[in-house]
Chain A
Amino acid sequence: EADIYQTPRYLVIGTGKKITLECSQTMGHDKMYWYQQDPGMELHLIHYSYGVNSTEKGDLSSESTVSRIRTEHFPLTLESARPSHTSQYLCASSESSSGRKTYNEQFFGPGTRLTVL
C-alpha cells in the first residue's frame, strides 16, 4: 500500500467556487504528478513537479494551478470551478530515476471525485 494521500475523496461544489485538492506523500519522492480521468477514459497528465519549487504543465490543458513548497505536498487549485471541471483527479509520486532505478514506478493516491454543479 503506497503512502500517498488525497483529500477530500469526494467534493460537490457550485460554479464559481475556489477549491484546493490536497495531495501528500510520505515516501520522500522528488517527482509528483496530477492526472485527470473521466469515466472509461485514460488518465491525462495535467501537472507535474521535479521537486520543491518546480512545477510544469502536462499534456492536457487545465485551468488549475499547482504549487510545490514542500517535498511531501503538491496541492492543486481551481480559482473558479465550472461544470467542465467535473472529473476524477489522481495524484501520484515517484522517485527520481538514477542508476539501477529505471522503472520510475508511480504510486497513485485514491483520487478526488470532483462534481461542479
Chain B
Amino acid sequence: KNQVEQSPQSLIILEGKNCTLQCNYTVSPFSNLRWYKQDTGRGPVSLTIMTFSENTKSNGRYTATLDADTKQSSLHITASQLSDSASYICVVFDRGSTLGRLYFGRGTQLTVWP
C-alpha cells in the first residue's frame, strides 16, 4: 500500500532555532518528492521538488534531503522565524499512472515561539 508517513506530528521551537522534519514513504514507482508549506486556512505552497537522482535541494532557509534507497526524506529549517509556523506536508508523486498520483502525508504542524 502506497503511504507517506511524517514525524513528528507537531513541533514547537523557539525563534532562531533549527529543526528537522522527517518523511518516510512506500510509494512505488517513485517519480519525485515534494515538500509543501501550508499556512492555516490556506492552500499548500511548494517549497522543494526532488527527483530520484537528487539527494539535496535548498530553497532559502529550507533544505530538503532525499534517500531514495531507504525511502526517507527530511526538511531542515535553519534560523526559524515566526512566519515559519505552518503545516509542512511531504508529498510523493507516483509516475505509474496517466494522471500521476500524489500521495500526501498528514503534515507536521510547526509552531515557532518568540
A interface vs B, CB < 8 Å? 2, 4, 6, 31, 40-43, 45, 48, 50, 56, 88, 90-92, 97, 102-111, 113
> Which B residues touch A103, using CB under 8 A?
32, 49, 93
Q: For the complex, what is the distance from the CA of A41 to the CA of B93, rounded to whole Å? A: 18
- Specify which of A31, A40, A41, A92 lies most central, judged by the most chain B CB atoms within 10 Å of its CB: A40
Among residues of A, the one whose C-beta sits closest to the C-beta of B10 is A40
Chain B residues within 8 Å of A2, by CB: 45
Contact A92 B43 (CB under 8 A): yes
Closest Cβ neighbor of B87 among chain A residues: A40
How many interface residues does B have (CB within 8 Å)? 24
Tell which of A31, A92, A105 touches B49, judged by Cβ atoms closer than 8 Å: A105
| Per-residue contact bits, chain B 74-109, to A (CB 8 Å; 1 contact, 0 not) | 000000000000000100010100011110111101
The answer to whether B102 touches A90, judged by C-beta atoms less than 8 angstroms apart, is: no
